[in-house]
Chains A and B, each alone.
Chain A
Amino acid sequence: MSGRAHAARAPRAALAARAGLAALVALAAGAAGAVGAAGAAGAPGAPGVVDVGPTLARTQILARTLDDEPRSLDPQLASDIPGQRIADDLFEGLTAVGIDGRPVPGVAASWQESADGLTWVFHLRAAARWSNGAPVTAGDFVYAWRREVDPRTGSQYAQGLAPIAGALAIASGDAPPDTLGVRALDAHTLRVRLAGPTPYLLDLLSQQYLYPVYAPVIRRYGEQWTQPAHMVCDGAFVLREHVIGSRITLQKNPLYWDAAHVHLQRVVYYVLPDRNVQAERFMAGQAQWTDSFAANQHDWLAAHLGAQVVNSPYFGTYMLGFNFQMPPFRDNRPLREALVLAIDREPLVHAMRSMYQPAYTLMPPLPGYVQPVPAWARLSEQARHALARRLYREAGYSHTDPLRVDIVTSVQGADERHFYEAVAAEWRAILGADVHVDEEEFKVLIQDRELHKVALFHDAWIGDYPDPYTFMQIFYTGNGNNNGAYSDPAFDRLIDAAGREADEAARYRLFGAAERVLNEDAAYIPLYYYATRHLVKPYVRGWRSNIMDRNLSRYMYLLEHQGD
């Protein structure tokens, strides 16, 4: 069941009460949908029409693909998306990722929040077990979270725990790990103290770097604890085989507390960095769910595979960044604005990135958040072009004295390069600017951005959790991810105020105001919002598109089918 389903944000208190029904509802909906959609199986013109029955297939083995080899299977070190996918299947945190990407009760069956929202108490369910039979205790969480913020672990997401009291000080090396604001009141009760109001706490708790880990196995085997023979996990699956660079095989964990509702017996992940190969495996029937497919093949795949091609909004924005520390963009707002305006986003994205949405703001669509779309987005094309040219001249450039600058991007493949070439061509046509695309190797680009050596650069950001702060922080003065060295005290003040605000609506309004500051400053060039890209066989059910693109194998199942 695909489609653009944005689940409305349920009030936090009601969520805790609906704990047990969540999985049942998903299953019932899945069954109903399966019955209803049975007749719609097989896309017109698909190579080998698949006949999907209404009952479960006898062999429940799912084959998925990954875009790259995970950098680590250790949840505290899994900093990339492939690592997150595997960790999501092997482990479970206080809250789990629901079928729609929203947090649902996981190891924690229930929780309470103090009046000021700064202290939370979680009650772990007694049935939660590690794969070796030992119970999952609050101490496991304490150990894991301390390990996450301890600089000696070297976790790249340590600052993700910033909302927890004491985390930043520990991660900066100024305090020992046991000062973290988390404490095991007893074996099944965990108390968490926050640094400030954190409306997105439940989403945060379902991030992979907050999953518990089994301390004895780590102490005994060190870095080798993620070998299949040693690994101990608390999720729906256990690690059966890991062929580096090729294949990761998971097997159902019979000791998982919700094992009764897990249908898949085995999940195989194929590591395929080449997107075209992922599509080929899918069409050959060897993979049933792909993590991605080549963007430039979208139209062709849609024509041939129909509904098996799935796109939905993804929480990320694709943009170009300005360097505020060097010419030509330093102290030259008209020039920046001219470049922002002189891109015809609708036809460009429609022609080249038909799966994505043109972007006019930093924040992609988020339920409850009102995007501050700038006024120029509503201008007609001619009016916008005229305005852009006027600003360009005001900035001091003309046809005889054009702007000469390079778009610096990383080497990602033909279709990425083509898109930036098209942008450069538009600037050339509308403004007369002389812009070229300079592809650098990825590590070189990172370093150049970090050292603020390039004037105009590719900058994309994917939010870690569904809250505006994850995007806004990259423009905060001095933030490590502030590649353009942008700095505006008004912006910083608004962000600080939002950080202290407990009411979600007020918070969002503050973030909106902060974004308007960015718009007025023309602090970056928005291009488009990301979308998820998956190829999914029609008989694979138990998943739903969501903006965080987290699809756990735990809910999935295969319907009986004939054909590939």
Chain B
Amino acid sequence: MLRYTLRRLIIAVPTLLLIATLAFALLHAAPGGPFDSDKRMLPAIQRAIEARYHLDEPLWRQYVRYLGELSRGDLGPSFQYRDTSVNQIIAQGLPVDATVGLAALALALLVGGTVGVSAALWHGTRWDHAPMALAAVGISVPVFVVAPLLILVFAVALHWLPPGDWVAGSPSHLVLPVVALALPYIGYVARLMRGSTLEVLASPFIRSARAKGLPSRLILWRHALRPALTPLVSYLGPAIAGLVTGSIVVESVFGLPGIGRFFITAALNRDYTLLVGITVLYGAFIILCNLLADLCYAWIDPRVRLR
């Protein structure tokens, strides 16, 4: 397993390089630059700014320079926020996103997993249809509807919870963003778990376990759950990466200082370094999560051989 992991990590490097190159090329292809504004600057000043940020150099040279900095871990200065660097923005935003994202993941796994598995166990009854219907609400209603609704009800009308902002270590500030973020994932997890649990429960080895006379609970926990987790694990890889890097809508509605919102503003404001920096981070997370997911397969199913 160690050799497998190492091999995957080594391949990750050219993959990340490719990601960085694609992001770099795409954003530079879009028209407009970071310092274009509706109040025009004097040409000498424009030239000076471009020289300072090396935007006047040919594209390949900017690319090589960027790669050099990247290899040293320096993601460059931010073009739209001239006092800060990309590293600082990410350092500030990532813990916020990680906290909210992981909490949402835990909630989704707990609630979604429970709903999905019980729906499979009571398949066909109202304990199947009703909770699944509710879970589907999370998938059907967009986050930019749910989030403001939550604020309206719990913060503005009832004054139970704060309407937003980030105060490190304050659980009440976490509740609404985490719930808003988790709702669609609860739906997906429930659906996945229900489907795969149903499959596993109907498979031959479960039937033989039942024929052997094993109690249902034992069957469920010891034999059925592990194989039922495989589709979930394959879904979780990119889902975790997405959760952690932040949902744009949740961040903007609740005013959380995460990096997901910067992703969009960086694209719209042509902040090349910030966008490529966040993209590379996102790519690294996905690669990592996929690797973890594949390692989990091996743990779940001992017959699996990592090639």
Size of chain A's interface in residues, with CB distance under 8 A?
A: 53
With the chains together, A484 CA to B182 CA distance in Å? 49
With the chains together, A247 CA to B256 CA distance in Å? 9
Q: Does B170 contact A (CB under 8 A)?
A: no
Looking at A70, A244, A270, which has the most chain B CB atoms within 10 Å of its CB? A244
Q: Does B195 contact A (CB under 8 A)?
A: no
With the chains together, A152 CA to B41 CA distance in Å? 13
A446–B36 contact, CB under 8 A?
yes
Interface segment, one of A138-146, A271-279, A362-370, A498-506:
A271-279
Interface segment, one of B8-16, B125-133, B154-162, B287-295:
B154-162
B253–A277 contact, CB under 8 A?
yes
Shortest distance in angstroms between B45's beta carbon and chain A's nearest beta carbon? 5
Cross-chain pairs A/B with CB under 8 angstroms, 15 sampled: A153-B48, A154-B52, A159-B41, A243-B257, A244-B88, A274-B252, A280-B148, A280-B152, A280-B163, A283-B156, A443-B30, A443-B269, A446-B32, A450-B40, A481-B39
A442: contacting residue among B42, B81, B152, B268, CB under 8 A: B268
Q: Does B302 contact A (CB under 8 A)?
A: no
With the chains together, A171 CA to B46 CA distance in Å? 10
Residue of B nearest to A479 (CB): B40
Q: Which residues of B contact A151 (CB under 8 A)?
A: 42, 44-45, 47-48
Shortest distance in angstroms between B14's beta carbon and chain A's nearest beta carbon? 32
Q: Does B191 contact A (CB under 8 A)?
A: no
The 5 A-B pairs of least Cβ separation, nearest first, read A443-B32, A480-B40, A246-B257, A173-B44, A154-B49
Q: Which residues of B contact A157 (CB under 8 A)?
A: 39
B155–A72 contact, CB under 8 A?
no
A281–B42 contact, CB under 8 A?
no
Shortest distance in angstroms between A242's beta carbon and chain B's nearest beta carbon? 9
Q: Does A284 contact B (CB under 8 A)?
A: yes
Q: Does A286 contact B (CB under 8 A)?
A: yes
Q: Which residues of A contact B44 (CB under 8 A)?
A: 151, 171-173
A154-B52, A280-B148, A443-B36 are known contacts. Are A159 and B83 too (CB-CB below 8 A)?
A: no
Shortest distance in angstroms between A321's beta carbon and chain B's nearest beta carbon? 11
A156: contacting residue among B32, B39, B80, B269, CB under 8 A: B39
B255–A158 contact, CB under 8 A?
no
A223: contacting residue among B31, B83, B152, B258, CB under 8 A: B83
Residue of A nearest to B155 (CB): A284
A284–B156 contact, CB under 8 A?
yes
Q: Does B92 contact A (CB under 8 A)?
A: yes
A62-101: CB near B (< 8 Å → 1, else 0) gives 0000000111111001010000000000000000000000
B257–A480 contact, CB under 8 A?
no
With the chains together, A283 CA to B151 CA distance in Å? 11
Q: Which residues of A contact B36 (CB under 8 A)?
A: 443, 446-447, 450
With the chains together, A280 CA to B252 CA distance in Å? 13
Residue of B nearest to A158 (CB): B45
Q: Which residues of A contact B80 (CB under 8 A)?
A: 71
B40: contacting residue among A71, A276, A481, CB under 8 A: A481
B165: contacting residue among A79, A224, A286, CB under 8 A: A286
A154–B255 contact, CB under 8 A?
no
B37: contacting residue among A153, A156, A159, A286, CB under 8 A: A156
Q: Does B111 contact A (CB under 8 A)?
A: no
B32–A447 contact, CB under 8 A?
yes
Q: Does B277 contact A (CB under 8 A)?
A: no
A171-B45, A274-B252 are known contacts. Are A74 and B82 too (CB-CB below 8 A)?
A: yes
- Which residues of A from 280 to 296 have beta carbons under 8 Å from B? 280-281, 283-286
Q: Does A441 contact B (CB under 8 A)?
A: yes
A224–B83 contact, CB under 8 A?
yes
With the chains together, A284 CA to B256 CA distance in Å? 17
Q: Which residues of B contact A173 (CB under 8 A)?
A: 44, 47-48
With the chains together, A152 CA to B38 CA distance in Å? 21
Q: Does A155 contact B (CB under 8 A)?
A: yes
With the chains together, A154 CA to B44 CA distance in Å? 9
B255–A443 contact, CB under 8 A?
no
A277–B38 contact, CB under 8 A?
no
Q: Which residues of A contact B52 (CB under 8 A)?
A: 152, 154
A72–B81 contact, CB under 8 A?
yes
B246-263: CB near A (< 8 Å → 1, else 0) gives 000000110111100110
Residue of A nearest to B53 (CB): A154
Q: Which residues of A contact B41 (CB under 8 A)?
A: 156, 158-159, 480
With the chains together, A171 CA to B151 CA distance in Å? 49
A280–B156 contact, CB under 8 A?
yes
A243-B257, A272-B255, A441-B268 are known contacts. Are A154 and B40 too (CB-CB below 8 A)?
A: no
Shortest distance in angstroms between B253's beta carbon and chain A's nearest beta carbon? 6
A247–B165 contact, CB under 8 A?
yes
Q: Does A20 contact B (CB under 8 A)?
A: no
Q: Does A377 contact B (CB under 8 A)?
A: no
Q: Does A245 contact B (CB under 8 A)?
A: yes
- Which residues of B from 17 to 58 have beta carbons under 8 Å from A? 30-33, 35-45, 47-49, 52
B164–A244 contact, CB under 8 A?
no
Q: Does A119 contact B (CB under 8 A)?
A: no
With the chains together, A441 CA to B270 CA distance in Å? 11
Q: Which residues of A contact B172 (CB under 8 A)?
A: none
Q: Does B84 contact A (CB under 8 A)?
A: yes
Residue of B nearest to A150 (CB): B48
Q: Which residues of A contact B148 (CB under 8 A)?
A: 276-277, 280
- Which residues of A from 252 to 280 have beta carbons under 8 Å from B? 270-274, 276-277, 280
Q: Which residues of B contact A274 (CB under 8 A)?
A: 252-253
Q: Does B166 contact A (CB under 8 A)?
A: yes
B82–A72 contact, CB under 8 A?
yes
Residue of B nearest to A77 (CB): B82
Shortest distance in angstroms between A278's beta carbon and chain B's nearest beta carbon? 10
B42–A171 contact, CB under 8 A?
yes
Known: A245-B262, A280-B163. 19 other contacts (CB 8 A): A72-B81, A158-B42, A173-B48, A223-B82, A243-B257, A244-B89, A245-B258, A247-B255, A247-B257, A270-B165, A277-B164, A277-B253, A280-B155, A284-B163, A286-B163, A444-B32, A447-B31, A481-B38, A481-B40
Q: Does A226 contact B (CB under 8 A)?
A: yes
Shortest distance in angstroms between A5's beta carbon and chain B's nearest beta carbon? 28
Residue of B nearest to A48 (CB): B159
